[in-house]
Structure 1
């Protein structure tokens, strides 16, 4: 249980930095498989076939699905802090074990375990960031924190380019275990969620923590705790995602996550191998993943700024359209410069789009359902992520190379744009001071 005592004012930047570093490590560990795939397929001592590589990629994402479901169910019951640190520890240790795996079967099993931790960290970090960010800057702060996975994927590509050819895959995975160094800092500096503390009846602790971090959230307004009571967590958190006219939006957001993650994980898993088959050298082939990651970082930042001014839904639609258009161009291009530009834009509309979907989900649900809503939306998305590597293996091996594979990944991006159009637009965030005045008038006296 988190102990909270009276202290001087604290900055929420500490929370954002820890969440960002955790997501950076999450991104490295998640996308490193695609960066190292050329070191597995047909290379001794692994001698992996494309079909087996696709199966292991999908199997690892089954672990992520399980991790998202666990996080979605337990973060609103056990607390964000415990789940974030536990997830970080799990995938860090699994990555270290991957570096010493004796064969590809054991490696695949360890990737499954790592996937559980990776899948549990994202919804927890997003929920914490959303809660500690001020109302006026939620999309911008969350967008900046969500550059973590994209920068992590960029680091994975850089490390793979420099180590894979001469040293093989093992040191690339060993470096991923460095994320364990973040754990003592998180134990020392990361606070618990005030929304969680209120939900378990610790209203005084929640109020003290909110005051210390300068939090004035619409979730807090007009909800004075009943004296002498300690209500249990609300029952049926998952069922709440479908009540009060939430059914259609919830299913729409789940399908949107599915299509987005299918595109992202299918493409990032197979992009280096696709370009290797197109005749590029191993280092150059992996560099296309680096290009995709740079586009994802830029897309996340731009989408966060524009999403704050408009709505996350708007940027999700733009992102899907941009990714689909770029992949259509890539399917017809042969020039390295055109291909590089196309995959840069695909990254801009790929991970950046998913981050805006996460932002939209986080702002759609109230605090009591936020982590549950995020966890289950991402769990639905993991179904697409699981399909993605096998879908990519089919597109690469049977469809005729880069041309068909790029076209195949443009299809789910186009479908995502259509579905995003039908999602409800989030309510515009109002000034907390005005909301406080309004709530004061509405609270019965």
Structure 2
């Protein structure tokens, strides 16, 4: 009988190269987040068409946006708690299936009330899927490249949002607004069945005391013939969280300040993101351009994040992650403020929106990575998902509040300068978190030396 070894699962993953099996998990998680991005922003490009077909105003459509975002918040917060209890894989499969079915059903909505209910239910599935895809990927990725890999997964949201804008510009004029919901439902429906190939997180399996042979099977797929069923698999948990529930971990003394800063940061970024993706097509159309122009310009905002997200991830791995993301927020705020001065020319406007999105979407896309690294395994899915869930309140403010701001009759210069302020607040909150963590580490170092 071979000698039993004690293997720390996280060290095992950190020491191995990024395998083909982990690439497969990456592809699944990327596609999940992309489908999430497509469905999340699907309403923005459809606003003018829905207003025309149903004979309603922007204000009358506001409950549809609000319901979807409330659903996202509930799904994010509930999905994280469920994933920390039952597993990332199970919650992912159920949530993707759920939002695909209700997205398909949205194509048959006959008015605001039906659409409001269906988008609420779709939002619940979307919220649970996003946070758990990020969590699962972070727990399969070596520490040395985690920010780059998880940031790239979150860029799937950018790809989905970008695709939604361009699909709307092509599909809606030819096939009507219903066609976009068909695409937004059928793609994730097919994905939900393929996801049965996804494995559970080995870190979760260890924490939940799964059979050793199941953990060994997954680890051997990462690095063939590296472990046996006789090995004992462990994971190191901080003493402050051992035995605590996931919720009590993220609100514990060690993590509370960082939790609040993460919430503020992503909340502020969501105000900007959802204002742009919800109302930019209408603003552009009102400025004298076509509906197709509005959908394409809206799509440029998340598209810019494809470039910036990978770059920010690199700087997060190599340098201080808080400073890297804060700098992206500040630069994004500058260009957000400049958008209001670009409506005289479509090329200038497109460039400003793209660059603003490059910085702002990159910062937003890096936040789940930062949160996943901040929380321990027992509270990771809950920590990430509650940050995403609370931030949806910012989404509501950006989407529903956008209609109020635009109704005030302010010049576009003033509107976008005001919109830049949340970006500055996000950067400040992030620097506070980084400073607090540095002080904690210094204090721990002094206590260790004294002992």
Normalised TM-score (structure 2): 0.85
Match of 1:59 among 61, 67, 89: 67
> Is residue 397 of structure 1 aligned with residue 407 of structure 2?
yes
Deviation at 1:50, TM superposition (A): 1.1
Deviations 1:377-399, CA, capped at 9 Å, x for gaps: 11111111122111211122214
Residue 410 of structure 1 is matched in structure 2 by 420
Residue 360 of structure 1 is matched in structure 2 by 370
Match of 1:191 among 199, 204, 218: 199
> Is residue 69 of structure 1 aligned with residue 62 of structure 2?
no
Residue 174 of structure 2 is matched in structure 1 by 166
Residue 346 of structure 1 is matched in structure 2 by 356
Higher mean C-alpha displacement, 72-81 vs 325-334:
325-334
* Residues 157 and 289, structure 1, Cα contact 8 Å, conserved in 2: yes
Residue 110 of structure 2 is matched in structure 1 by 102
CA–CA distance in structure 2, aligned partners of residues 192 and 264 of structure 1: 32
1:303-342 equivalences in 2 (<5 Å): 303-333=312-342, 334-342=344-352
Deviation at 1:312, TM superposition (A): 3.0
Residue 162 of structure 2 is matched in structure 1 by 154
1:162-241 equivalences in 2 (<5 Å): 162-178=170-186, 179-187=188-196, 189-202=197-210, 204=212, 205-214=214-223, 224=234, 234-241=243-250
* Residues 1:81 and 1:402: Cα distance change in structure 2 (over 3 Å): same
* Residues 303 and 354, structure 2, Cα contact 8 Å, conserved in 1: yes
* Residues 55 and 389, structure 1, Cα contact 8 Å, conserved in 2: no
After TM superposition, which residue ranges in structure 1, 4 or more long, deviate above 3 angstroms? 222-226, 425-428
CA–CA distance in structure 2, aligned partners of residues 81 and 335 of structure 1: 47
Deviation at 1:225, TM superposition (A): 8.2
* Residues 249 and 379, structure 2, Cα contact 8 Å, conserved in 1: yes
Partner of 1:174: helix, strand, or coil?
Answer: helix
Deviation at 1:301, TM superposition (A): 2.0
Match of 2:276 among 264, 267, 272: 267
CA–CA distance in structure 2, aligned partners of residues 224 and 282 of structure 1: 56
* Residues 1:206 and 1:244: Cα distance change in structure 2 (over 3 Å): farther
Residue 449 of structure 2 is matched in structure 1 by none
Deviations 1:333-369, CA, capped at 9 Å, x for gaps: 3332221111111211222111111111111111221
> Is residue 118 of structure 1 aligned with residue 126 of structure 2?
yes
Partner of 1:85: helix, strand, or coil?
Answer: helix
> Is residue 386 of structure 1 aligned with residue 386 of structure 2?
no
> Is residue 247 of structure 1 aligned with residue 291 of structure 2?
no
* Residues 68 and 116, structure 1, Cα contact 8 Å, conserved in 2: yes
Higher mean C-alpha displacement, 240-249 vs 14-23:
240-249
1:270-289 equivalences in 2 (<5 Å): 270-289=279-298
* Residues 1:412 and 1:225: Cα distance change in structure 2 (over 3 Å): closer
CA–CA distance in structure 1, aligned partners of residues 211 and 244 of structure 2: 19
* Residues 1:197 and 1:403: Cα distance change in structure 2 (over 3 Å): same
Residue 23 of structure 2 is matched in structure 1 by 13
Q: CA RMSD in A?
A: 2.3
Deviation at 1:84, TM superposition (A): 0.6
Deviation at 1:103, TM superposition (A): 1.8
* Residues 333 and 360, structure 2, Cα contact 8 Å, conserved in 1: no
Structure 1 regions of 5+ residues with no counterpart? 1-8, 217-221, 227-232, 429-445
> Is residue 293 of structure 1 aligned with residue 302 of structure 2?
yes
CA–CA distance in structure 2, aligned partners of residues 426 and 96 of structure 1: 46
Deviations 1:252-277, CA, capped at 9 Å, x for gaps: 11111111112111221111111111
Match of 2:48 among 27, 38, 47: 38
Normalised TM-score (structure 1): 0.86
CA–CA distance in structure 2, aligned partners of residues 64 and 410 of structure 1: 24
* Residues 61 and 112, structure 2, Cα contact 8 Å, conserved in 1: no
Match of 2:32 among 22, 29, 39: 22
Partner of 2:246: helix, strand, or coil?
Answer: coil
* Residues 337 and 418, structure 2, Cα contact 8 Å, conserved in 1: no
